Amino acid sequence: MDARELIARRAAQEFKDGYVVNLGFGIPVLAASYIPEGVEVILQAENGILNFEAVTRLGEEDPYIADAACQPTRILPGGSTFDLAMSFAIIRGGHVDATILGALEVDQEGNIANWALPLSPGKWSPGMGGAMDLLVGAKRVICTLQHTDKKGRSKILKKCTLPLSAAKVVDLIITELAVMEVTPEGLVLKEVAPGVSVDQVKAATEADLIVKGPVPEMRL
């Protein structure tokens, strides 16, 4: 199992039956493939859909309906479409139970940076899309990301260095090494990945990790 699949499988366990969820691109969307049996969720797409699924077979597409990545999409029975003001009222207004989003950096205070990489001095790209609204509005914010960057540097920091998407909003961080919860006392190590030790997680993490007693292994 590669890192992405492991993170997606663990993130999928956060879905609760009946949840309205909005999934970011990449690993979060992959998590939808591993929703536990007996759990049904309603997916929300920021471009204005509730309850949909992807379409991949030629002839089943509808050129008036696509998801927030403009992938051909089908509305499921009981689903609905609506305009962007309604969509972001749903998002910002606290009507989405959980969002799973990727990040460039996340820190021990629950700050998250996921919209801006430096393009040139004072210029940032690619932009936030709907992420800032989701982070502020969703009842629960789950952040999925690889624990370190390509050079092995921790992406779980004491303090984010890139421009923030939102301050103090992240509830849970899931990486290929660990599950960490943001609490008022700090970042608590809740689970380690199979075969990974607490010391290994600590060594790969710049943030201060609080370890309370034995740390259980992720069940995947």
H or E segment and range at residue 90: helix 84-92
CA distance linking residue 4 with residue 211, whole number of Å: 25
CA distance linking residue 21 with residue 170, whole number of Å: 15
Q: Report how far Cα 10 is from the mean position of its chain's Cα atoms.
A: 12
Question: In this structure, what token pair is assigned to residue 109?
Answer: 């205070």
Q: Tell me whether residue 160 or residue 177 sits nearer to other proteins (CB atom).
A: 160
91 forms part of the interface with other proteins (CB under 8 A)? yes
Q: Tell me whether residue 135 or residue 218 sits nearer to other proteins (CB atom).
A: 135
126 forms part of the interface with other proteins (CB under 8 A)? yes
Residue in the block written with tokens 């943001």: 182
Task: Check if 46 is active-site.
Answer: yes
Distances (CA, A) of 135 to 126, 141, 181: 17, 6, 16
85 forms part of the interface with other proteins (CB under 8 A)? yes
Contact (Cβ atoms closer than 8 angstroms) between residue 127 and residue 51: no
- x/- track of binding to other proteins for residues 30-69 (CB under 8 A): ----------------xxxx-----xxxx--xxxxxx-xx
Residue in the block written with tokens 């996921």: 114
Q: Which of 39, 76, 119, 211 binds other proteins (CB under 8 A)?
A: 119
88 forms part of the interface with other proteins (CB under 8 A)? yes
Minimum CB distance to other proteins, residue 125 (Å): 5
**Residue 158 main-chain phi, psi, to 5 deg:** -65, -40
Q: Tell me whether residue 16 or residue 92 sits nearer to other proteins (CB atom).
A: 92
DSSP letter for 133, please: H
Annotated catalytic residue within 5, 37, 40, 46 = 46
Minimum CB distance to other proteins, residue 65 (Å): 4
Question: In this structure, what token pair is assigned to residue 98?
Answer: 């959980």
Q: Tell me whether residue 43 or residue 131 sits nearer to other proteins (CB atom).
A: 131
161 forms part of the interface with other proteins (CB under 8 A)? no
Minimum CB distance to other proteins, residue 202 (Å): 28
Q: Tell me whether residue 8 or residue 166 sits nearer to other proteins (CB atom).
A: 166
Distances (CA, A) of 80 to 43, 75, 77: 11, 7, 9
Contact (Cβ atoms closer than 8 angstroms) between residue 66 and residue 72: yes
Could you list the residues that contact other proteins (CB under 8 A)?
A: 46-49, 55-58, 61-66, 68-72, 81-85, 88, 91-92, 111, 116, 119-120, 123-133, 136-137, 163-168
Q: Which residues are tagged catalytic? A: 46
